[in-house]
């Protein structure tokens, strides 16, 4: 029973004896397996035999670490100024995208759908599209609408080009109103494929005049960047070199607005800037495995210089800075030199807690590679590097990163595997620390391996997304999270008075 | 000119809001918006609104889909089964662990609620069909999770569109693994909201669960089943404890913390106690017709409704149970009074705007009123007319009623009717908080709870006070801004 003076929530409430009683009562009706049997099977799931069986799986994916295409398309749309992401399909999907982003960023996520139902499945969604575009423009007054598709629309074969044209010629939208669109079937690739499809299509559709004379300008593509501080950091790095830089698309402000007033759209790349994006001299992507189509268009169609960076960790940041140096023709500015020196200093202060520690890292392809590179730079060992949505070529790239490590022979690459595979690996070839998103917390509970939360989504810790994980300053954040989790872990393991607390040191 | 009445503000807000829509959408939305009055018998539904109709295209509806209704609400919490999200990867990913359906069990060994299982469709599966992959997936699940009691197949959009026969696959695999495999055709494009998913999920229980027997649990005159409580943050436990205290035997709990056995044993209850009418009235009606089991609705939000419900439930039983109900009420009433003494003075007169799904837009009204708060706007994401009829009995004053409200309307209503607190879902939460408005997320209890029962009400009261009276809302104005 509650004590009105000290009301407790479930966490403490359910520990009270009357709840224990009700749980026991319930058991009589549950027909759950015998305790002994459960223990036995639990132990078996930790075995090598189980691991082998688990890796034989061909059909079922268990605890995947990837999402579907339209999610990435929505992120791209929100990176354009005053642009409404519009998903052609059932509204259920949009409810999910909005919820998923909102839970991660703790910010509103605008996005509409045209609410297709059974009749649209039979007759096609053209009517939904016409009405939907008209309603969306009237209600939310966006300057542009960015349409992507769900698997439903893709399976029935709706043609976006014809639909958008139709909506305009029939007067549902002004002829000159910008609507960009991309097909984003959920059964191909992952949320990253959707990001690339929406971005490459937007550039293709908006960049109408491709000039041979390129402006001294650099386009920066952050990719599916969920650490919003990173977008500013990328821009600032370029600007420190005096480079005229445009981030395309820039969703950094949309999910990082202040209190006091709600405005549906915030920040974003101006539409005029996107129209002229093709005439910038070069484009640099911070997530090459996320943006292959975008790079291809820039290279082949726009005839731009393209550069692939992955500025996570020291060497990744160095490569980006070297590119910026070359591109600008200027010396590396003092501020950047100072930031690099600070990161290296911090790494030298902290390396001893990371050295020789074994890590399992999982996440999106570019993220996983960057994190692995950084851990290795700190002297850590990457025992497992796992990417569920690994594109072609990722495994080789991952191998190349791991081969930089003295522990390369015991470092393994897992392309296309899910988190249930990883669970088996953590039991059979254990590590000291796990790096990944919030879904790793169940792995942490099951295996006892401490989880360092870096990645997407992070649902169960606050504000991490406000920071950066790219560049030298971002490297400092990574180091902070990694090394302090290690220190927390050591403390939690050495708390027992007169037993383990001889290593419960005040000064580290 | 005197101050406008709340009712006239509400009516003009409604007219104002409709103006922004293009003609066709305006006509449609006008049918879903109204001002409800408690004494108005002329209206069939509260505010005269229509419901369970298609959503206007191009708006930010807060609705989900049939898959969300089946997998996310009804089937997902059944803990000792694996629920396969059959189709592309996304639906499974987004629906993972969001609904805080608490359960007791060894996850990944004998229980599976917070895990994700998907056939992760690729292009070739769309082209060639996914029946074979599904069969293989079910075999793999049975091999890797030998303690699993059964499997449900939750269809995503492509399954119905490409014409896969999950019924046949389920039949075949049931024989193959010698455990029930239950096909649920809850493709997201079916129906207009998650509501049809609930119905489809209920029908699957009827067709595939009631056809097999549960364990022998004996029989007493006091056997009841909790229906339509998903144990969000432990709600069903905080409810069950009261039912047991009044001498009833809860033989099944649907579907929060439920086992397949409890689903199977549902029809052995003497009385079904229905909390979420919207999501599980279908199967309750079926049990009434087929097995002669009566059902009654109850409401465990707030002390007034809980006292009323305990007495209503007890009235279906003998004097002993009725006496027990009075004893339970007598035991908890002082605690509830103390909670009210503590919080009512801080909350009295505060105006609440609600927007949720299921039963909450009406069921929680009593809990707010116990605290002296007033509901000035409410509505459902996916209700049917009978939900709005029921709402009429709950409201105490003129209330804006919005069916399938979208982001634009909620924001606009909020600006015009000026509530002191908004209680809705996570998609809405930060929009209102940015406006400086206290907010509580009423799908997941904002990571608090339980809110059901007497123990839950204490938490509810504490949380509402915390939200409304937190100092954080006062920080918006910077010292350098002129007063």
Closest alpha carbon to B275 in B364, B341, B382: B364
Question: Does residue B41 surpass a pLDDT of 90?
Answer: no
Closest alpha carbon to A290 in A390, A187, A192: A192
B264 is catalytic: no
Over residues A31-77, the pLDDT tens digits come to 999 999 999 999 999 999 999 999 999 999 999 999 999 999 999 99
Question: Does residue B4 surpass a pLDDT of 80?
Answer: no
pLDDT value at position A203?
Answer: 98
Determine whether the interchain pair A4/B233 forms a contact, defined as Cβ–Cβ distance below 8 Å: no
Which of the four pLDDT bands, split at 50, 70 and 90, describes residue B483? Answer: low
| Strands B295-297, B271-274: pairing kind | parallel
Closest chain B CA to residue A23: B237
Smallest CA–CA distance, residue A420 to chain B, in Å, is 9
Closest chain A CA to residue B455: A2
| Strands A215-221, A280-285: pairing kind | parallel
pLDDT value at position B468?
Answer: 98
Over residues B53-100, the pLDDT tens digits come to 999 999 999 999 999 999 999 999 999 999 999 999 999 999 999 999
Annotated active-site residue in B99, B208, B278, B440: B99
Q: Which residues of B touch A32 (CB under 8 A)?
A: 80, 105, 110, 259
Mutate to test the interface with A, among B57, B355, B460, B478 (most CBs of A within 10 A): B57
Q: Which residues of A touch B63 (CB under 8 A)?
A: 91-92, 95, 115
Mean pLDDT within B306-335? 98
Determine whether the interchain pair B126/A10 forms a contact, defined as Cβ–Cβ distance below 8 Å: no
The lowest-confidence range among A105-119, A362-376, B4-18, B305-319 is B4-18
Residues 227-246 of B with CB under 8 A from A: 233-234, 237-238, 240-241, 244
Q: Which residues of A touch B342 (CB under 8 A)?
A: 4
Over residues B340-392, the pLDDT tens digits come to 999 999 999 999 999 999 999 999 999 999 999 999 999 999 999 999 999 99
d(CA A142, CA A131): 16
Across B46-81, b (16+ Cβ under 10 Å) vs e yields bbbbbbbebbbbbbbbbbbbbbbbbbbbbbbbbbbb
Determine whether the interchain pair A33/B147 forms a contact, defined as Cβ–Cβ distance below 8 Å: yes
Token pair belonging to B456 = 């839950």
Smallest CA–CA distance, residue A3 to chain B, in Å, is 7
Helical (H) or strand (E) element with A325: helix A313-328
Rounding to the nearest 10 degrees, give the CA dihedral for residues B143, B145, B146, B148. Answer: -130
d(CA B49, CA B123): 43
Q: Helix or strand or coil: residue A60?
A: coil
Mean pLDDT within B147-166? 97
pLDDT value at position B482?
Answer: 73
The whole model's pTM is what? 0.98
Closest alpha carbon to B446 in B230, B232, B194: B232
Look over chain A and give the mean of its residue pLDDT values, rounded to a whole number: 97
Burial class for B218, CB neighbours closer than 10 Å (0-12, 13-18, 19+) = exposed
Q: Which residues of A touch B194 (CB under 8 A)?
A: 92
A138 → closest Cβ in B22, B261, B450: B22
Per-residue 3-state assignment (H helix, E strand, C coil) for B435-472: CCCCEEECCCHHHCCCCCHHHHHHHHHHHHHHHHHCHH
Closest alpha carbon to A141 in A261, A265, A255: A265
Q: Which residues of B touch A71 (CB under 8 A)?
A: 90
d(CA A284, CA A276): 16
Annotated active-site residue in B13, B46, B66, B68: B68
* Residues with Cβ within 8 Å of residue A169, at least 6 apart in sequence: A175
B20 → closest Cβ in A25, A32, A139: A139
Mean pLDDT within B216-225? 98
* Residues with Cβ within 8 Å of residue A223, at least 6 apart in sequence: A192, A195, A285, A286, A287, A290, A291, A366
Smallest CA–CA distance, residue A126 to chain B, in Å, is 11
Determine whether the interchain pair A260/B107 forms a contact, defined as Cβ–Cβ distance below 8 Å: no
Over residues A216-251, the pLDDT tens digits come to 999 999 999 999 999 999 999 999 999 999 999 999
Burial class for A118, CB neighbours closer than 10 Å (0-12, 13-18, 19+) = middle
Smallest CA–CA distance, residue A147 to chain B, in Å, is 11
Token pair belonging to B35 = 């001002």
DSSP line for A138-169:
HHH--SEEEEEE-HHHHHHT--HHHHHHHHHH
Residues 192-221 of B with CB under 8 A from A: 192, 194, 214-215, 217
Q: Which residues of A touch B195 (CB under 8 A)?
A: none
Determine whether the interchain pair A45/B434 forms a contact, defined as Cβ–Cβ distance below 8 Å: no
Over residues B249-285, the pLDDT tens digits come to 999 999 999 999 999 999 999 999 999 999 999 999 9
The residues of A annotated with a catalytic role in the active site are 151, 155
Determine whether the interchain pair A64/B118 forms a contact, defined as Cβ–Cβ distance below 8 Å: yes
Question: Does residue B2 surpass a pLDDT of 70?
Answer: no
Question: Does residue B1 surpass a pLDDT of 80?
Answer: no
Q: Give me the total of CB pairs closer than 8 Å, taking one residue from chain A and one from chain B.
A: 344
Mean pLDDT within A341-349? 98
pLDDT value at position A406?
Answer: 97
The answer, yes or no, to whether ipTM is higher than 0.85 is yes
d(CA A438, CA A433): 14
Determine whether the interchain pair A41/B115 forms a contact, defined as Cβ–Cβ distance below 8 Å: no
Which of the four pLDDT bands, split at 50, 70 and 90, describes residue B481? Answer: confident
pLDDT value at position B42?
Answer: 84
Over residues A263-291, the pLDDT tens digits come to 999 999 999 999 999 999 999 999 999 99
Smallest CA–CA distance, residue A64 to chain B, in Å, is 7
Question: Does residue B10 surpass a pLDDT of 60?
Answer: yes
* Residues with Cβ within 8 Å of residue B245, at least 6 apart in sequence: B324, B328
Which of the four pLDDT bands, split at 50, 70 and 90, describes residue B3? Answer: low
d(CA A194, CA A182): 8
Question: Does residue A13 surpass a pLDDT of 70?
Answer: yes
Say if CB B237 and CB A22 are below 8 A apart.
yes
Determine whether the interchain pair A22/B240 forms a contact, defined as Cβ–Cβ distance below 8 Å: yes
Over residues B419-452, the pLDDT tens digits come to 999 999 999 999 999 999 999 999 999 999 999 9
What are the φ/ψ torsions at residue A460 (nearest 5 degrees)? Answer: -110, 10
For chain A, how many residues are written? 508
Burial class for B326, CB neighbours closer than 10 Å (0-12, 13-18, 19+) = middle
Look over chain B and give the mean of its residue pLDDT values, rounded to a whole number: 97
d(CA A103, CA A99): 6
């Amino acid at each position: 029973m509650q004590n009105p003076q000290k009301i407790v929530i479930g966490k403490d409430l359910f520990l009270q004896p009357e709840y224990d009683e009700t749980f026991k009562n319930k058991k009589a009706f549950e027909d759950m397996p015998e305790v002994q049997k459960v223990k036995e099977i639990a132990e078996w799931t930790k075995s090598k035999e189980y691991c082998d069986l688990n890796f034989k799986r061909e059909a079922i994916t268990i605890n995947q670490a990837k999402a579907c295409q339209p999610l990435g398309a929505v992120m791209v749309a929100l990176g354009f100024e005053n642009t409404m992401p519009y998903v052609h399909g059932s509204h259920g999907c949009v409810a999910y995208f909005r919820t998923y982003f909102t839970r991660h960023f703790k910010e509103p996520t605008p996005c509409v759908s045209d609410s297709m139902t059974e009749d649209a499945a039979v007759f096609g969604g053209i009517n939904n599209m016409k009405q939907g575009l008209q309603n969306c423009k009237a209600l939310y007054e966006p300057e542009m609408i960015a349409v992507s598709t769900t698997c439903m629309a893709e399976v029935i074969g709706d043609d976006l080009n014809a639909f958008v044209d139709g909506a305009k010629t029939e007067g549902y939208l002004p002829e000159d109103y910008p609507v960009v669109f991309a097909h984003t079937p959920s059964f191909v690739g992952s949320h990253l494929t959707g990001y690339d499809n929406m971005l490459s299509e937007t550039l293709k559709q908006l960049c109408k005049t491709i000039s041979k004379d390129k402006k001294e300008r650099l386009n920066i593509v952050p990719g599916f960047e969920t650490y919003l501080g990173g977008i500013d950091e990328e821009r600032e790095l370029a600007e420190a070199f005096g480079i005229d830089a445009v981030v395309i698309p820039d969703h950094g402000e949309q999910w990082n607005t202040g209190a006091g007033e709600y405005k549906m759209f915030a920040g974003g790349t101006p539409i005029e800037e996107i129209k002229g994006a093709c005439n910038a001299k070069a484009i640099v992507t911070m997530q090459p495995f996320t943006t292959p189509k975008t790079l291809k268009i820039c290279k082949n169609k726009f005839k731009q210089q393209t550069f692939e960076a992955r500025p996570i960790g020291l060497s990744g940041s160095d490569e980006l800075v070297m590119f910026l140096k070359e591109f600008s023709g200027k010396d590396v500015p003092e501020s950047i030199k100072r930031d690099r020196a600070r990161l290296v200093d911090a790494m030298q202060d902290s390396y001893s807690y990371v050295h020789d520690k074994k890590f399992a890292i999982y996440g999106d392809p570019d993220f996983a590679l960057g994190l692995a590179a950084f851990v290795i730079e700190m002297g850590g060992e990457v025992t497992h590097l796992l990417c569920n949505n690994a594109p072609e070529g990722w495994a080789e790239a991952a191998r190349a990163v791991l081969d930089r490590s003295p522990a390369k022979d015991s470092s393994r690459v897992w392309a296309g595997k899910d988190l249930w595979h990883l669970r088996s690996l953590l039991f059979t070839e254990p590590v000291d620390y796990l790096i990944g998103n919030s879904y790793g917390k169940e792995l942490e509970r099951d295996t006892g391996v401490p989880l360092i939360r870096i990645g997407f989504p992070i649902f169960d810790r606050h504000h991490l997304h406000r920071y950066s994980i790219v560049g030298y300053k971002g490297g400092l954040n990574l180091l902070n999270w990694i090394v302090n989790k290690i220190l927390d872990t050591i403390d939690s393991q050495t708390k027992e008075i007169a037993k383990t607390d001889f290593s419960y040191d005040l000064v580290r | 000119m005197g101050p406008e009445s709340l009712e006239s503000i509400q009516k003009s807000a409604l007219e104002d809001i409709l103006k922004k829509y293009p003609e066709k959408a305006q006509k449609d939305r006008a049918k879903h918006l109204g001002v409800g009055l408690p004494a108005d018998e002329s209206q069939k539904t509260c505010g005269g609104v229509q419901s369970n109709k298609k959503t206007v295209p191009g708006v930010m509806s807060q609705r989900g889909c049939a898959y969300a209704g089946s997998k996310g609400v009804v089937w997902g919490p059944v803990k000792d089964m694996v629920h396969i999200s059959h189709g592309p990867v996304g639906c499974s990913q987004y629906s993972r662990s969001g609904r805080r359906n608490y359960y007791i069990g060894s996850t990944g060994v004998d229980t599976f609620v917070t895990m994700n299982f998907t056939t992760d469709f690729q292009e070739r599966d769309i082209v060639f069909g996914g029946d074979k992959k599904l069969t293989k997936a079910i075999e793999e699940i049975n091999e890797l999770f030998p303690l699993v009691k059964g499997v449900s197949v939750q269809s995503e959009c492509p399954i119905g569109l490409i014409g896969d026969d999950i019924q046949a696959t389920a039949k075949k695999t049931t024989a193959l693994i010698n455990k029930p495999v239950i096909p649920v055709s809850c493709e997201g494009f079916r129906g207009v909201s998650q509501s049809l998913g609930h119905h489809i999920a209920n029908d699957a229980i009827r067709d595939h669960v009631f056809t097999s027997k549960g364990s022998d649990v004996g029989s007493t005159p006091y056997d009841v089943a909790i229906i339509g409580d998903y144990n969000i943050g432990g709600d069903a436990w905080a409810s069950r404890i009261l039912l047991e205290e009044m001498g009833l035997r809860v033989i099944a709990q649907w579907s929060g913390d439920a086992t397949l056995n409890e689903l199977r044993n549902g029809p052995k209850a003497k009385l079904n106690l229905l909390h979420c009418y919207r999501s599980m009235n279908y199967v309750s009606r079926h049990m009434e017709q087929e097995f002669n089991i009566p059902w009654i609705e109850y409401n465990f939000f707030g002390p007034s409704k809980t006292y009323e419900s305990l007495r209503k439930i007890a009235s279906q039983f003998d004097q002993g149970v009725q006496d027990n109900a009075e004893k339970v009420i007598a035991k908890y009433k002082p605690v509830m009074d103390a909670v009210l003494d503590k919080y009512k003075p801080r909350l009295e007169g505060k105006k609440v705007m609600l927007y949720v799904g299921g039963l909450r837009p009406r069921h929680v009204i009593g809990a707010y009123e116990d605290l002296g708060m007033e509901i000035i706007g409410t509505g459902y994401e996916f209700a049917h007319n009978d939900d709005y009829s029921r709402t009429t009995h709950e409201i105490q004053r003129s209330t804006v009623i919005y069916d399938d409200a979208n982001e634009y309307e909620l924001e606009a209503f909020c600006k015009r009717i000026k509530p002191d607190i908004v209680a809705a879902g996570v998609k809405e939460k930060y929009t209102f908080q940015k406006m400086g408005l206290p907010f509580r997320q009423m799908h997941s209890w904002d990571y608090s709870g339980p809110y059901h029962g007497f123990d839950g009400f204490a938490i509810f009261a504490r949380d509402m006070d915390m939200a409304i009276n937190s100092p954080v809302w006062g920080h918006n104005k910077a010292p350098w801004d002129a007063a």
